[in-house]
């Protein structure tokens, strides 16, 4: 290393080096540079920056929540998405606000261009095309990164955001070859270098569907799926939904489709034994669907545009690893696709990932103190999951450089916190995907209040720009002021308010009530009450009135969840010393000792969510923490259970 350093000038030192310019890497590099760190972003191919290797869409339940949180934390994905919307819809409008979420079709090529421009505008950020091949570690920390070009980059912190490009192999039926999305040469030496530092890797599998010529589809046989011009965009400061939106289309597989696929199972790499890695259970291939849901005669196929004026479209719902000739045969059995022509064949891909129990909640590795992982290297799947991790990792790498505490989001604060806690505490036995069902406090984590939850944190670390901060303050001030006004506004029985109540089929009050109580009634909306008052809301950030109404309508449920958070906080926030000796804690079950030793949770709450750690183990752990002298107590019969056998 000393010999190398002699030839390295100041221009080759960067506070933070980010490896990989996918969705995680872009957010990480932007966050670190905007927080004042001299940052380098290394990419295998400059033309693949922010590449949407799979579907040309963002959002949905859980995922849309992440994009809104990225915006509130000062990230870029939300703003770039809003500038490249082809279509946007608000999902689950018939359900409560906790599960409502935006889903948008994106101009994938416009998204890449817009994100690259954002990167290039950052004065503290340098983008360079090179493959990181080796980490030089000294004193337990990364000091240099060596590129395939021979360049050596000295650094104060390193982030690996490698996506599916580590040791990746593409499968097309019985053919397979080393490659990554975009026919890029995968990276092998970086994994070997990381393994030398004690990091463990495993294999996962995923896949994509075919892309076909739009001009070869008979749209007259398909069902259109239109967007909603009234839907908001992802960013508080974005332009919102376009008036003119491009429709998606829907069709279905059928028995003939399934018969062709069944007849060729021997050519599917997930069944032939060629692929060993676990695949995403929640996004199965069409082969998997036919096996797992054998009683179904059809499965939906969504036809999604990849751009406003290109002939390539994406067939969501039929990812496959079958050979291209079989792909074309089964596609042509589907209504509307009888003459379809494939532009890009589907493929399956297997790649290396690092089980995320090797990380701290800051996304820093436990093995190397200034090394962070974000995105699919952590076993996740999806652009949104990757971007949210990249943003947090970039913030924490910059905080490390500046000597600040890391940003750790709790499970009751953000879906991003839920995701990272799930990964670090439980690991990933299959590619991880966020869902609203993963959040026990999801009524507190609505997409419309992401800015209210997180903008203050982002502003405190210097990441939220003036425009988004101004909009956040305007929204916050209006909601707080209106809630107070509505609480103080009283209506008596027999007053003019009964006209409004009668109009909406609501019973008259039997005693004096506040306006807040009236708006809590299902029949009365905040907007209808404002209209009855003869008031008009001032110009406000999008979503302000919806968020105010959610706070009013669901006040009781929100208060109940907040009480649960406060009730459990005392125990769950109790820290566990990083050097706690679990082997001396003999009254813990053997399985609990092994799992706790491996993960080394930071708090009792994190320990309580680990598989293999029972409530009884948590009670014993609390005793040890409150009375350290009880370590090495003689084992009791109650400590021996099925987990010890």
Is the pLDDT confidence value at 569 over 60?
Answer: yes
Strands 85-91 and 57-59: unpaired
Average pLDDT for the chain: 91
CA dihedral 577→583→588→594, nearest 10 degrees, is 90
Cα three-residue angle 122-124-128, rounded to 5 degrees: 85
Residue 123: CB atoms within 10 A of its CB come to 8
Is the pLDDT confidence value at 394 over 90?
Answer: yes
pLDDT at 395: 98
Q: Distance between CA 222 and CA 549 in Å, rounded?
A: 38
pLDDT at 630: 66
pLDDT at 282: 73
Is the pLDDT confidence value at 564 over 50?
Answer: yes
Contacts of residue 268, Cβ cutoff 8 Å, sequence gap at least 6: 173, 261, 285, 287, 320, 321, 322
Over range 626-635, report the average pLDDT: 63
Identify whether the C-beta of residue 311 lies closer than 8 Å to the C-beta of residue 215: yes
DSSP assignment string, 505-569: T-PPPSS-EEHHHHHTSTT--HHHHHHHHT--PPS--TTHHHHHHHHHHTHHHHHHHHHHHHHHH
Condensed to tens digits (0 to 9), the pLDDT of residues 572-602 reads: 788 999 888 888 888 888 888 888 988 899 8
Is the pLDDT confidence value at 21 over 90?
Answer: yes
Condensed to tens digits (0 to 9), the pLDDT of residues 278-299 reads: 777 777 899 999 998 999 999 9
Condensed to tens digits (0 to 9), the pLDDT of residues 441-495 reads: 999 999 999 999 999 999 999 999 999 999 999 999 999 999 999 999 999 998 9
Contacts of residue 43, Cβ cutoff 8 Å, sequence gap at least 6: 20, 21, 25, 49, 127, 128, 129, 130
- Please report the domains of the chain, with CATH numbers, ordered by start residue: 211-350 (2.40.30.260), 466-558 (1.10.10.1800), 574-644 (1.10.150.570)
Is the pLDDT confidence value at 609 over 70?
Answer: yes
| pTM assigned to the model | 0.91
Is the pLDDT confidence value at 637 over 80?
Answer: no
Over range 598-619, report the average pLDDT: 86
Q: Helix, strand or coil for residue 141? A: strand
63-72 vs 383-401: helix axis angle to the nearest 10?
30
Phi-psi region of 450 (alpha: psi -120 to 50; beta: other; left: phi over 0): alpha
Q: Helix, strand or coil for residue 156? A: strand
Over range 337-350, report the average pLDDT: 96
Is the pLDDT confidence value at 347 over 50?
Answer: yes
Q: Distance between CA 517 and CA 496 in Å, rounded?
A: 16
Q: Which of 54-68, 336-350, 519-533, 583-597 has the lowest mean pLDDT?
A: 583-597
Is the pLDDT confidence value at 539 over 60?
Answer: yes
Is the pLDDT confidence value at 186 over 70?
Answer: yes
């Amino acid at each position: 290393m000393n010999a190398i350093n002699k030839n390295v000038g100041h221009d080759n030192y960067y506070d933070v080096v980010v490896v990989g310019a996918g969705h995680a890497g872009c957010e990480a590099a932007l966050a670190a540079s905007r927080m004042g760190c001299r940052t380098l972003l290394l990419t295998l191919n400059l033309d693949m920056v922010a590449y949407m290797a799979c579907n040309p869409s963002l959002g949905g339940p859980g995922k849309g929540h992440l994009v809104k949180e990225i915006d509130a934390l000062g990230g870029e994905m939300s703003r770039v998405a809003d500038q490249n919307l082809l279509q946007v819809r608000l999902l689950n409008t018939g359900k409560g606000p906790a599960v409502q979420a935006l889903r948008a079709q994106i101009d994938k090529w416009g998204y890449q261009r817009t994100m690259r421009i954002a990167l290039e505008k950052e004065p503290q950020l340098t983008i360079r095309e090179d493959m990181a091949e080796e980490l030089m570690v000294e004193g337990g920390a990364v000091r240099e990164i060596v590129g395939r070009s021979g360049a050596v980059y000295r650094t104060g912190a390193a982030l690996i955001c490698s996506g599916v490009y580590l040791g990746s192999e593409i499968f097309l039926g019985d053919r397979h070859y080393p490659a990554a999305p975009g026919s890029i040469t995968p990276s092998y030496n970086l994994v070997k270098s990381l393994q030398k530092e004690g990091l463990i890797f495993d294999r996962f599998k995923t896949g994509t569907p075919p892309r076909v010529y739009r001009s070869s589809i008979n749209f007259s046989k398909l069902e259109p799926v239109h967007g909603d011009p009234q839907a908001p965009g992802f960013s508080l400061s974005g332009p919102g939904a376009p008036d003119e939106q491009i429709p998606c289309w829907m069709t279905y597989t059928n028995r003939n489709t399934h018969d062709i696929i069944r007849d060729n199972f021997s050519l599917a790499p997930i069944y032939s034994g060629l692929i060993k890695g676990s695949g995403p259970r929640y996004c199965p291939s069409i082969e998997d669907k036919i096996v797992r849901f054998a009683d179904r005669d059809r499965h939906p196929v969504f036809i999604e545009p990849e751009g406003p004026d290109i002939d390539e479209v994406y067939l969501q719902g039929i990812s496959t690893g079958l050979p291209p000739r079989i792909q074309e045969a089964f596609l042509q059995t589907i209504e509307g696709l009888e003459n379809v022509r494939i532009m890009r064949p589907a493929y399956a891909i297997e790649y290396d990932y690092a089980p995320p129990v090797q990380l701290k909640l800051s996304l820093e590795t436990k093995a190397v103190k200034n090394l962070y992982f974000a995105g699919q290297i952590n076993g996740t799947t999806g652009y949104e999951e990757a971007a949210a991790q990249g943003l947090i990792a970039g913030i924490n790498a910059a905080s490390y450089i500046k000597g600040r505490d890391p940003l750790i989001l709790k499970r009751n604060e953000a879906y991003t916190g839920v995701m990272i806690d799930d990964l670090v505490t439980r690991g990933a036995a299959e590619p991880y995907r966020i869902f609203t069902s993963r959040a026990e406090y999801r009524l507190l984590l609505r997409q419309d209040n992401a800015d209210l939850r997180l903008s203050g944190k982002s502003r405190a670390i210097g990441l939220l720009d003036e425009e988004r901060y101004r909009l956040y303050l305007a929204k916050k001030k209006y909601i707080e002021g209106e809630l107070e006004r509505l609480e103080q506004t009283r209506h008596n029985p027999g007053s003019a308010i009964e006209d409004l109540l009668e109009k909406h089929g609501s019973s008259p009050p039997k005693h004096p009530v506040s306006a807040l109580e009236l708006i809590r009634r299902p029949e009365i909306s905040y907007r209808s009450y404002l209209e009855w008052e003869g008031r008009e809301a001032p110009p406000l950030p999008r979503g302000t009135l919806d968020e105010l109404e959610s706070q009013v309508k669901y006040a009781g449920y929100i208060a109940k969840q907040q009480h649960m958070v406060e009730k459990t906080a005392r125990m769950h926030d109790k820290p566990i010393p990083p050097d706690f000796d679990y082997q001396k804690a003999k009254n813990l079950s053997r399985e609990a000792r092994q799992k706790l030793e491996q993960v080394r949770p930071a708090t009792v709450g994190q320990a309580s969510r680990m598989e293999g750690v029972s409530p009884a183990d948590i009670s014993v752990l609390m005793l040890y923490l409150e009375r350290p002298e009880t370590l090495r107590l003689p084992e009791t019969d109650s400590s021996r259970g099925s987990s010890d056998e």
